[in-house]
A and B are shown apart, each in its own frame.
Chain A
Amino acid sequence: MEEAVSLELTPDEAARITREQRETKAAKSKYLLEVKNLSTHFFTPDGVVRAVDDVSFELGYGETLGLVGESGCGKSVTALSLTRLVPNPPGKIVAGSVVFDGVDLLKLSDEGMRKLRGKEIGFIFQDPLTSLNPTLTIGYQIAEAIRQHMGLSKKASYDRVVELLAKVGIPRARDRLNDYPHQFSGGMRQRVMIAIALSCDPKLILADEPTTALDVTIQAQILELISVLSDEFGTAVLMITHDLGIAAGMCDRVNVMYAGRIVETGSVDVIFERPRMPYAWGLLDSLPRLDDVRSDRLRTIEGLPPLLINVPDACRFNPRCAYARDACRDHEPELTPREEPGHYARCWATDKGGWIP
């Protein structure tokens, strides 16, 4: 869909439009990122997988937003869609808009998008070993982004690399410029990834399970680093995680995703203390928690998440929900507002006129 637009524009025109769009729209919008009705489908031989289905959310300047859910719920595909990195084929963004800092990314030219990735939007992925190139030195890989996007000289870019490495807590930064990724430990590699993500002063960092591959003590270091640096640089963070503990500690607001949909959204306090969606209850109940009295049994969510092929018009959680009634099987509920401002949940049972007060 984006090709139709990009064919008509030269990179210069695109840049001009981008600038104009930004000047006019940024003033109006209080959000850095506005995602509206985003749908990303995968066209597979077995059918169309609706991995991300009509997802809308906003992210304010400097805010940390959590995207929480289990594997296959569409949280990573959402992040990839935002930056148009969904592998195509089989994946395709079929609908929606992603307005980043006043610019609709889905209408941007490929060239414009390339200028944005790594500059305005930084990435931290789960596995630093596969996201770093094993044949290039760390110094080169960080400097690459800086030279590309900021037009600094080789010397100046390397000075900035040293500064960044020191900032992310890599000791003897200047000596380690010529080291290769395999010479770093997992935690150190993730620090290098953070240095790359921050290298061009991005407005937004997409952190996709940034600490899942790391040990708990290293995880604590990396999370601390992300939160300190994002405060310092005023960077907004979209934190994608399956770990509710990380979301509780890092995020200002949280979106809970299930089966390609956002099922609940609200401030971190509301989501963790007064959730209004049985899936969120189930997730919180099933966690073996450190801050809980010892108990032999955990409450569980029985069953498995649904396949996202031929999704019926019903609440996607209903087969696993202890509170489901016929209404849940007949129609899918909308995200409706709840008591606190900004708190929305997708559930018939807890909505007005529902059967759970």
Chain B
Amino acid sequence: MTAATERPAAGTDGKNGANLVEVQNLKVYFPIRAGIFKTIQGTVKAVDDITFEVRRGETLGLVGESGCGKSTTGRAMIRLREPTEGTVTFDGTELTTLKSGPLRRLRRRMQIIFQDPYGSLDPRMTVGSIISEPLETHRLAKGPAKQERVAELLKMVGLDPSYVNRYPHEFSGGQRQRIGVARALAVEPEFIVCDEPISALDVSIQAQVLNLLTDLRDRLGLTYLFIAHDLSVVKHISDRVAVMYLGKIVEIGPPDTIYAAPGHPYTRALLSAVPVPDPQRERRRRRVILTGDVPSPANPPSGCRFHTRCWLYEKLGKPENCRTIDPPLREIATDQKAACHYAEDCVKSDVGVAHIDDRPVRHGTPEGALRFAHKSTAELIGEIPEGDIDQALIPSIEEVPAAADDGGDNGSKPN
């Protein structure tokens, strides 16, 4: 377990820290059409007036339940969706009014990794052509240089370069997701929107892809918007976390405060809902179980959108301003903003965090066993690529100092 603090946080070295993407009052509305004439009967306010920034070199986690507008936000940020209102500024260039030519040139610097590794790769294209397509589009390489670049990219994401002529169906979900990552990296982007990149994968494969994304970020200095539907995944990869509910950002801040002292009751409810793989802690924890479903974004509740399900609203005796005034996102601590009239009361509560602010206990490989790993997994699978990334990909099992073999039965030596 490498502590997160070992990586220079965004903003500590000179070039990092400035805003790479700025989102101002972004709104994305979808019309609801009905009837024979398909007249507009209403609007779904998928994203409703959000303002935030992504700093260069950081990973911003964007968390929320389905339908809260997190994917729409991600897509609007690279203009895969046209915003209804508001602006998105990428490295000083205003995106929303950009003409198609300059936009295409700018797209080289921003890419997206999709959730579904099955739907996002063309089944009739080989891996080689999938990865080289962006190179051709942006006229970055051709001929042997292109082949070389594709091989390099495959190695970079931990795939064997000899796979270039295979088709997506020949790969497992995790490998496909690596292909998606290679395609995104092909044009050497600065900013990548990761739209739930590991949600469709199995537990053991999730960790592989998550580690790959972390390694690539650190090595290539990438900036991520990491979209996820629960708070446990983004805790480890994010420098800051934003929580969305019904088209609004309700809380944003560094993980240290978001996970220890959340200022919005919804963040606490989300934290409380995530099951923890520790039976004793599960028995001890007090859950806030939100009642009801997320209201329709076509007809959001008045005032604070969360008040219909809010446990704090109930506890405070249903104060009127929750029903009438939409709370603005305001600073409640250093770098932490929350959109709640009663954020101060919320911070004081221990709801939702009681089970995580304990001393961390992590069960898993017992320390005794670590000394006995006599062969690295990298050796076993032999698909780890050459070059400096292979150091990063070797599991941390090897980082444990070798201890004396206390009489293992077949005499093979620990590393």
Chain A residues in contact with chain B, CB under 8 A? Answer: 70-71, 185, 187-188, 215-221, 223-224, 242-249, 268-269, 272-275, 278, 281-304, 319-320, 322-327, 349-350, 353-357
Contacts and interface: CB of A to CB of B under 8 A. Distances in A.
B381 A290 contact: no
Interface in B364-408: 364-366, 368-369, 372-378, 380-381, 395-397, 406, 408
Given A224-B289, A302-B395, A323 B372 contact: yes
A331 to B, nearest CB: 14
Given A283-B203, A295-B4, A215 B279 contact: no
A354 B408 CA distance: 8
Contacts of B269: 217
Nearest to B397: A322
A279 B66 CA distance: 32
A242 B289 CA distance: 22
A297 B211 contact: yes
Contacts of A302: 208, 377-378, 380-381, 395
Given A188-B293, A294-B3, A303 B372 contact: no
B410 A286 contact: no
B232 A273 contact: no
Interface string B340-381: 000000000000000110101111111011001111111011
A228 B276 CA distance: 19
Contacts of A281: 364-366, 369
B210 A288 contact: yes
A353 B409 contact: yes
B380 A300 contact: no
A243 B230 CA distance: 13
Interface string B1-41: 11110110000000000000000000000000000000000
Interface of B: 1-4, 6-7, 65-66, 172, 174, 202-208, 210-211, 214, 218, 229-233, 235-237, 255-256, 259, 269-282, 287, 289-291, 293-294, 355-356, 358, 360-366, 368-369, 372-378, 380-381, 395-397, 406, 408-410, 412
A173 to B, nearest CB: 15
Contacts of A356: 368-369, 372
B241 to A, nearest CB: 11
Given A320-B380, A323-B369, A349-B372, A300 B208 contact: yes
A269 B279 CA distance: 6
With a 10 A CB-CB cut-off, give which of A188, A283, A350, A355 has the most chain B CB atoms. Answer: A355
Given A269-B280, A325-B412, A355-B408, A288 B207 contact: yes
